[in-house]
Amino acid sequence: MTGGFHLTKRDGISRGKAVLIRLVAVLLSLIVCGLVIMAITGDNPVEVYAALIDGAVGSKNRLWNTIRSMMLLLIVAVGLTPAFKMRFWNIGAEGQILVGGIAAAGLMIYGGGSLPGAVLIPLILIVSTVSGLLWGLIPAFFKAYFNTNETLFTLMLNYVAIQLTNFAIILWESPKGSNSVGVINQASKAGWFPKLFGANDTMIVLLVLLVTVLMAVYLRYSKQGYEIAVVGESRDTARYAGINVKKVILRTMMISGGICGLAGAIIVCGASHTISTGITGGRGFTAIIVAWMSHFNALAMALVSAFLGFMQQGAIQIATQFGLNENASEIITGIILFFLIGSEFFINYRIGRKGGGKG
Amino acid sequence: MKRRLTGLLTAAVLCVSALAGCSATENAGGTAQTADQPATAASGGAATEVSGEQFVMSAQDIKVGAIVIGDENEGYTAAHLNGLEGMKAALGLTDEQLLVKTNIADTEACYDAATDLVDQGCNIIFANSFGHETYLMQAAEEHPEVQFCHATGYQAALSGLENFHNYFTAIYQSRYVSGVVAGMKINEMIANGEIMEEDAKIGYVGAFPFAEVISGFTSFYLGAKSVCPSVTMTVRYTNSWGDLSLEKEMAKQMVADGCVLLSQHSDTVGTPTGAQESGVPCVGYNISMISAAPDSALTSATMDWSVYYTYAVKSVLEGTPIATDWAQGYPEGVNLITELNEAIVAEGTAEKVAEIEAKLTAGTLNVFDTSTFTVGGKTLEELIAEGGDYAKYADYVSDGYFHESELASAPAFDLIIDGIDAQVD
């Protein structure tokens, strides 16, 4: 199998060309998805796509749901970014979200009757952030001082957090034994994010965008952000440059865990209004894809989150309209992601005919 | 057809289309019948005025929404979907008039789904998971012109919402009958010398330790005990409604611990497949398990949800109120057991089942007859007389039996009776 093609690593690629390659990838993936849909279900793929779009943005409420899915995914991706940039494999966002969510639900239950909303909601945001921060600090401490494997450590802490959540559910469930806490403060709405500018989810959008912008600025323009990048490139280099690597690891994981904890509060106070192991919706893992695919670029993360939120909401509609269950939309999402990730190859490498070939 | 409220109509159509997002077809005709149902709800007092009419809404104009926790691959939801299809056929609705949202979790996804169904013009919306209840209530509060019905819940009466209702079936009756099938099978095993009388122990895979499950396994046990007095039962909980591998694992463990027959209150085929592999008989739930466990599944306790769905949708068409709590059983044809696995059930089972079902239908047999069980060696009446924690059961017990699903549609029996070993892991 010699002869034929050879690969060379590109030195650089123009922005326009990179975007073009990605667009071609998306186009090809949509065609492949269409063929798959036709082959498996016999449905008209154009109609299925139309239903997807209708389900995601077809009405005001659907559009808001899509925006909300996007924002909840984006904030977790933003939370993971500093850790991954430092090459610290934080697989523990699920757990960090859950401990933040438990703190939020607990404060809603115990503080809902006594504290006014203007005090309660900021308090929840702070306490949840601190909870996630502490949860993130545990593996960072062991990484910094004992060089433990953070991938396993953060992953295993997820299961601890799930058990803590189950404990909280048993503490607060109603009726006893039902494993369901139900909507908290349904009548008083204490601790719920208030409606702003006529929409339920405005506060989610504002909070997430604020955190995203702050994180982009922090990573790009602050000294600490630079330290994270250096530690990520090479710990030895960082040490040689006089950076306190232990301190950077601890600080960065506190930020990462803190934002994921805050995400837990945003999910509980802004969307689900309850605590259960299902509130994360797998976002702690999905966000890893979002962060990596975007090369930690905030705008790209927003776009990828929007795409996945779009697919998730659209999926509900194709299930209703065509009887395709959510797996169908996961297949479509999977194919599109496959092409997008595959396109990175063509952005990084150039393909040419082997030297002397006929061309 | 209703054409009297024309005065109200202009205003009502405006406010209703804003509230309910009337579909284009409804508005295009501009006739009274389509707007009447929401209009009466929106204008409050007008409801009584309409009730004399046969139909306030024609069947072509209604839209029905349903939010379900699983899909057709999961027994509990499959039973609901069958019920919805039955309703559709009975009332002659088209496919476009029934919108089903599958795989909706017990999270805000339920509220979003309900809101979306309202946006699409649904006049009545059902949801089938216990954890959906509070989200559905939230939607019901915001959309008083739409009827919301929730299966297995308990908060309709407490909520004070006129458009929010609970429904369930007297499933304990089906459980009892399926228990009789199990008890007869055990009797056969004793008679054949396969097991000793004192070894007659049933294993039960339950989901969560609360009334819905406890009431279910107690009625199943009482059914078995009515034909096989020496029977005992061990219950273990999976803490999940559907976890196939865990249910299967637990089923096999219980057989290893000496259980000679299995049953389940969970949504998958885990228990029957575990029973099949362990070589013990099994009684399922929701759907026939014979295809999953041909040498093991005797029958399953189930119900026909179409009776309720037809009733509730018809109520909207007729403009009559829907019961706040609805739980019917054998007398109304809601309850039943699935086909008996003739190859393996004990001889005479079909006759015995027919006899018990006739008694339940006639109302002469009460499943929770307080003379048939004790708690800590005492009857329920004695315990209630002693007071303390048991005083709360006084409202349920009279005429010698516990009135299950009569005060509220959701099951209420949550005592662990003698003979059942149900520990929370």
The reply to whether A218 falls in a domain is: yes
Element (H, E) at B357: helix B349-362
Place of tokens 């009297």: B4
Cβ-based contacts of B116 with chain A (< 8 Å): 59, 61-62, 65, 316
Concatenated DSSP letters for A200-244? TTHHHHHHHHHHHHHHHHHHHHSHHHHHHHHHHH-HHHHHHTT--
Place of tokens 């976002």: A283
For chain B, give the number of residues: 425
**Closest to B20 measured CA to CA, from B145, B161, B163, B148:** B145
Chain-centroid distance, C-alpha B307: 12
Per-residue confidence in pLDDT tens, chain A, 359 aa:
455 778 888 777 787 888 888 889 888 988 888 888 888 777 788 888 888 898 889 888 899 999 999 999 999 999 999 999 999 999 999 999 999 999 999 999 998 888 888 899 999 999 999 999 999 999 999 999 999 999 999 999 999 999 999 999 999 988 777 788 888 988 888 889 888 887 888 999 999 999 999 999 999 999 999 999 999 888 889 889 888 999 999 999 999 999 999 999 999 999 999 999 888 888 999 899 889 888 888 898 999 899 888 888 887 888 888 777 767 777 888 888 888 888 888 888 887 776 544 43
Q: And the tokens for B304?
A: 């026909």
The reply to whether A6 falls in a domain is: no
B103 touches A: beta carbon within 8 Å: yes
Domains located in chain B, CATH noted? 6-50 (no CATH), 171-304+333-362 (3.40.50.2300)
Global ipTM: 0.83
Q: Cα(A2)–Cα(B23) distance, rounded to whole angstroms?
A: 64
Q: How far is B210 from chain A (nearest CA, A)?
A: 4
Q: Cα–Cα distances in Å, from B306 out to B169, B312, B345?
A: 11, 10, 28
Cβ contact, residue pair A175, B115, below 8 Å: no
The reply to whether A276 falls in a domain is: yes
What is the number of domains present in chain A? 1
Parallel, antiparallel or unpaired: strands B397-398 and B401-402: antiparallel
Interface contacts A/B by beta carbons within 8 Å: 76
A contact test, residue of B98, B118, B134, B135 with most A CBs within 10 A: B134
**A interface with B, Cβ–Cβ below 8 Å:** 59, 61-62, 65, 166, 175-180, 182-183, 186, 271-274, 276, 278-279, 281, 316, 319-320, 325-326
Q: Cα(A146)–Cα(A144) distance, rounded to whole angstroms?
A: 6
- Judged on CB neighbours under 10 Å (0-12, 13-18, 19+), B70 is buried
Longest dimension (CA), chain A: 81
The reply to whether A194 falls in a domain is: yes
Q: Which domain holds residue A280?
A: 75-301
